[in-house]
Amino acid sequence: MRRESQTRFWKRFGVTQSRGSRFEQGMEIPSPVKILIRLYMEGVVKERDLLHARRNTMFNVAITE
């Protein structure tokens, strides 16, 4: 497993570093985030897929506001 910062790890799943830290300390991880992490760890979802989804989500929010 590669070493990376908490910020980088959690950001790919749309989670802030502070919230990710709480998850690591035992706070319940929401089901959608758990599913996304599992799919990523199993290689079903790639880094580029997450980046694409994150960009599209940010773009859609900007249009609808």
Q: For the chain, what is the HEC assignment?
A: CCCCCHHHHHHCCCCCHHHHHHHHCCCCCCHHHHHHHHHHHCCCCCHHHHHHHHHHHHHHHHHHC
Inter-residue long-range contacts of 14-18, CB under 8 Å, 24+ positions, other chains counted? 14/54, 14/57
- Classify residue 22: in a domain, yes or no: yes
Q: What was the pLDDT predicted at 32?
A: 94
Boundaries of domain holding 50: 6-64
Top-confidence residue, 13 or 63: 13
Please report whether residue 1 resides in a domain: no
User: Is the Cβ–Cβ distance between 14 and 54 less than 8 Å?
Assistant: yes
Residue 54 lies in a domain: yes
Tally of domains within the chain: 1
Domain for residue 42, yes or no?
yes
Predicted pLDDT of residue 61? 52
Contact between 42 and 53 under an 8 Å Cβ cutoff? The reply is no
